[in-house]
Amino acid sequence: MCLAIPVRVEALTDNDNALVDIGGVKKEISVALVEDVQVGDFVIMHVGYALNKVDPEEAEKTLALFAELGAAE
């Protein structure tokens, strides 16, 4: 099973990379596959790559559901 999650772009770095926030954890990922990524955008991340941009409202809903699932464990 694969899991892709929405993450918020915190900063753009060198070589088509970006620093993203994953539940308070910062990670550098590649944004080479997505056009026109800006700081503040939400992208879907899978194994260190941004796959596409996602609507901020939908990203927040998805992250809230993940948090709810984590609290239920």
| pLDDT digit string, tens, across residues 14-59 | 999 999 998 889 999 999 999 999 999 999 999 999 999 999 999 9
1 pLDDT band, cuts 50/70/90, is: low
Q: Exposed, middle or buried: residue 25 (CB in 10 Å: 0-12, 13-18, 19+)? A: exposed
What length is written for the chain?
73
Instruction: Please report, for the chain, the start and end positions of each structural domain, with discontinuous segments joined by +.
Output: 5-68
How deeply is 58 buried, as exposed, middle or buried, from its count of CB atoms within 10 A (0-12, 13-18, 19+)?
A: exposed
CB 53 within 8 A of CB 43: yes
Distance of CA 65 to the CA centre of its chain: 15
Domain 5-68: which CATH number of 3.40.190.10, 2.30.30.140, 3.90.650.10, 2.60.120.330 = 2.30.30.140
Answer whether 0.75 is exceeded by the pTM: yes
How confident is the model at residue 68, as a pLDDT?
85
Q: Is the pLDDT score of 65 beyond 70? A: yes
